Amino acid sequence: MLDKKEKYVVLYLVEMCPQKRPYLILAEKIAEVVSRKYLITTNELDDIMVMLQKENYIEFIVSESKVGNYYCITLKGKAITLKKDIKRQKQQFWLAVFRTFIFAVFSFTVGLLLKTIFSVP
């Protein structure tokens, strides 16, 4: 399971990278965009990228230049479907909450009904 920073990085990469095609991006640019929401360094970004590769979200190669480190990133299927998976998880959560609420109301109503039927005057 991904933490918040890792999800944010993957979602940014999905927006930037074409589907299943290699994309070249500067590591500092990714860190800059992610730093708008979460405090992140390029060293921490390197660790996140390695973890994402181990979790089979991306493939990447690091290339050093005078400007900085470049990542050649190729998205995998898990990364491409991440938005749909997050949306589906939210829907399942709210469905479970709604179902629990409906069952609670039903149980309360049945309890009141049974109480009125079996109450001794």
CA separation for the pair 38, 31 (Å, rounded): 9
Instruction: Indicate the pTM of the whole model.
Output: 0.75
Mark whether 73 and 57 lie in a shared domain: yes
Mark whether 28 and 44 lie in a shared domain: yes
Helices (H) and strands (E) in the chain, counts: 5, 3
Q: Which residues contact 34 (CB under 8 A, 6 or more apart)?
A: 5, 8, 9, 12, 40, 45
Mark whether 68 and 98 lie in a shared domain: no
Task: Tell me which residue range forms the domain holding 29.
Answer: 4-80
Dump pLDDT digits (tens) for 23-78. 898 989 999 899 899 898 888 999 999 999 999 999 999 988 888 889 999 998 88
Q: Tokens at residue 56, please?
A: 């089979």
Query: Number of folded domains in the chain?
Result: 2
In single-letter form, the type of residue at position 47 comes to D
Q: Is the pLDDT of residue 13 over 80?
A: yes
DSSP string, 78-107: HHHTHHHHHHHHHHHHHHHHHHHHHHHHHH
Mark whether 36 and 68 lie in a shared domain: yes
Mark whether 68 and 87 lie in a shared domain: no
- Report the run of H or E that residue 63 belongs to, with start and end: strand 58-64
**What mean pLDDT, rounded, does the chain reach?**
90
